[in-house]
Amino acid sequence: MMANDYQSFYADIRKDHEKRYGTDISEYGKNFHEDFYADKTHFILELLQNAEDALKHGNHTDKTIRFELRQDTLSLRHFGKAFDEKDVKSICSISKSTKKLDSTTIGKFGIGFKSVYDFTNSPEIHSGEHHFQIKDYVHPFLVDTDVDLKPDETLIRLPLNDAQRAEIIKKGLTKLNKRTILFLRHIKTVPRE
């Protein structure tokens, strides 16, 4: 697909979501995961679960997940199955996970990724041929495709809402240890920068 094709594809998703969720979906997003998780940094584990599932279905030999925390951005890089159209629709939907039918995946309730919205208003995903930013929880928009990606690499970039979020995330990342990630079978290392 060409950039215009992706732009149309993302516009179609937005149009469908306006019908499905309405134009004001702020009620969906308010404190989205507070009812599920007491620890605000639980989203880090959700990102790890998503990466684990991508690695499981990918063919790459590099089983490392890399977190990079800057004052204004958290980035996660991993290798594995690249996003396809179903994945884009799923991550931009509410409770429409592609994992529901796969009993071997960890997260399958469609709410895990939404927990990033306590820290960012517009996560970006660069994976395969898809380069998009999600606004208002469910609306994908084409973003700059000129990112430094290796073949088969996925980059999830979270522009942080404020500097305090970086401090909270830093504490959450320090909690990651071997025992925390025991449930992960495909991820071998999780270096943090």
Residue 19 CA, distance from chain mean position: 24
User: Is 180 inside any structural domain?
Assistant: no
Q: Phi then psi for 138, rounded to 5 degrees?
A: -140, 0
Structural domain containing residue 91: 3-22+40-174
Lowest mean pLDDT among 11-20, 24-33, 84-93, 133-142: 24-33
Q: Does 29 fall in a domain? A: no
Q: Please state whether 107 falls in left (phi above 0), alpha (psi between -120 and 50) or beta.
A: beta
Q: Which of 51-55, 57-61, 142-146, 156-160 has the lowest mean pLDDT?
A: 57-61
Q: Assess if residue 109 is contained within a domain.
A: yes
Tokens of 12: 């179609």
The angle, 0 to 180 degrees and rounded to 10, between the axes of the packed helices 163-174 and 42-56 is 60
Domain annotation covers residue 188? no
pLDDT band at 105, cuts 50/70/90? very low
C-alpha span between 70 and 75 (Å, rounded): 8
Specify if 193 maps to a domain.
no
Give the domain CATH number at 80. 3.30.565.10
Answer yes or no: is pLDDT of 191 > 70.
Answer: no
Report yes or no on 76 lying in a domain: yes
75 lies in a domain? yes
Is 100 part of any domain?
Answer: yes
* Structural domain count of the chain: 1
What's the pLDDT band for 130 if we cut at 50, 70, 90?
Answer: very high
